[in-house]
Amino acid sequence: MIITAGTVLPIQTRAGDSLAIHRALADAHPGDVLVINANSDTNRACFGDFLGELCIARGVSPAGPFKYGPGVIGTPVACGNVVCNPGDAILGDSDGIVVIPRHLIHTTLENTRAQENTEAAMRGRIPALTH
């Protein structure tokens, strides 16, 4: 079961700086998923409960973020060693998250449907194998 799905809205920001995130929230469209690269800093949050509430309104860190900027919205970012480009699809479930490049979305959907059909046919043959 998919828990989240949408279109990548990549954000590149400085460590601990949330100005670009605030700006992206103002620009975001329904279905956008913010993918934030804050340069792997673990000393200061760039996203906390306030931004979470803003996100919820739009569709705990001991040290909150700065808002100095500049930050960049809408250009490719790396997140977890995966490059996320504007318009890529992002899907998440309890097993993890996958990013599908925009130019492969249609092909991936076709291949997924074909795989589902193959597996359904295999499942249909299981009862005959157990008798």
**pLDDT tens digits, 65-101:** 778 888 899 999 987 778 899 999 988 877 778 899 9
Pair (118, 87) in one structural domain: no
- Global confidence as pTM: 0.57
Contact 69, 17 (CB under 8 A): yes
Pair (24, 78) in one structural domain: yes
Pair (36, 94) in one structural domain: yes
Pair (72, 121) in one structural domain: no
Pair (62, 15) in one structural domain: yes
- The tens digit of pLDDT for each residue in 35-60 reads 888 887 767 778 877 787 877 777 73
Structural domains in the chain (count) = 2
Virtual CA dihedral for 126, 96, 78, 42, nearest 10 degrees?
A: -160
Pair (114, 73) in one structural domain: no
Q: Which domain holds residue 130?
A: 102-131
Pair (63, 109) in one structural domain: no
